[in-house]
Amino acid sequence: MEKYLEILSNLITADNVALLSVVITVLIFIFTRRLEIRHKKHDDKKIQYLKLIELMEKNFSSTRKNKKGEVVLTDDLKKLFFDTGASLLMYGSRKVYRLYILFREFTSNPLIKQCKYYDERIALHIMSEILVTMRKEVGLSYFSSVTNNEALAFFVNDISCNPNAKKEAIRAKFCIRMIKFELWMMDRTQFVWMNKIYLGFIKPILAIVGIAIKYIVMIPLGRIIAKIFPKFAEDIMKETKKSKD
């Protein structure tokens, strides 16, 4: 016991105490700074989410369709879509941003329209999913959550207490999951993941080897051949020029 006390007393010196206080001060500063950045991001996220709600309101109230039944967006609405998407890319969560992309492309992407469970009315329920997700992310707890129909009730009539609307919302959730799964299957059947592996890992290695061979082997070898056989090199240059012309 006396030995341990002696070791502890040797460790507790003025220099060690000063160093420990400096380390604690630095850690407190880093922790406080991270909290400040997180709080600022949280405030920025609220502003961008309000912008997204404004976009939904304008899209729901001012969109029109042409003779073919396709949705036509005004220039102001197109600009608002771009500004909102850019803001969500920088400040929004991954889940909200992906739901926004699905909502944006739902009525315009031909791949989505080819899905078995596609229904243009589902776009409204994607909006409700975005609203409920944003409500959770701005800090409201699970006990303060609302249903998707209740989230739409502030600008859609007869939806929060209508049993048929509730059934439609349940069906829409199922359809959204199936559409996402079908899009995922399209990626897999088109070998997107294999192309990603090939271009991300295999082809860069082959390209690096090819470039290295070009500058280490082929170019020096060509210069040597040109010096040894100048007439042959001149004929090759002429043929190359003719083929380019």
pLDDT in tens, 194-204: 888 888 889 98
Does 165 lie in the same domain as 90? yes
Residue 111 is predicted with a pLDDT of 84
Does 157 lie in the same domain as 211? no
Q: Does any domain span residue 11?
A: no
CA dihedral (148, 150, 156, 161) in degrees, to 10, reads 110
Does 105 lie in the same domain as 147? yes
Q: What is the mean pLDDT of residues 196-224?
A: 88
Total number of domains in the chain: 2
Q: Does any domain span residue 34?
A: no
The pTM of this model reads 0.64
Does 215 lie in the same domain as 168? no
Does 217 lie in the same domain as 133? no
Range of the domain at 112: 44-190
Asked if the model's pLDDT at residue 244 lies above 80, the reply is no
Rounded to whole angstroms, what are the CA distances from 97 to 16, 64, 104? 49, 25, 10
Q: How confident is residue 1, by pLDDT bands cut at 50, 70 and 90?
A: low
Paired residues of 71 in beta bridges:
65
Q: What is the mean pLDDT of residues 22-50?
A: 73
Residue 56 is predicted with a pLDDT of 77
* Residues with Cβ within 8 Å of residue 237, at least 6 apart in sequence: none
Locus of tokens 């109230």: 61
Q: Does any domain span residue 196?
A: no
Q: Does any domain span residue 64?
A: yes
Percent of the chain with pLDDT over 90: 4
Q: Does any domain span residue 19?
A: no
Does 183 lie in the same domain as 101? yes
Domain final position from 146, 169, 190: 190
Does 226 lie in the same domain as 176? no
Does 208 lie in the same domain as 98? no
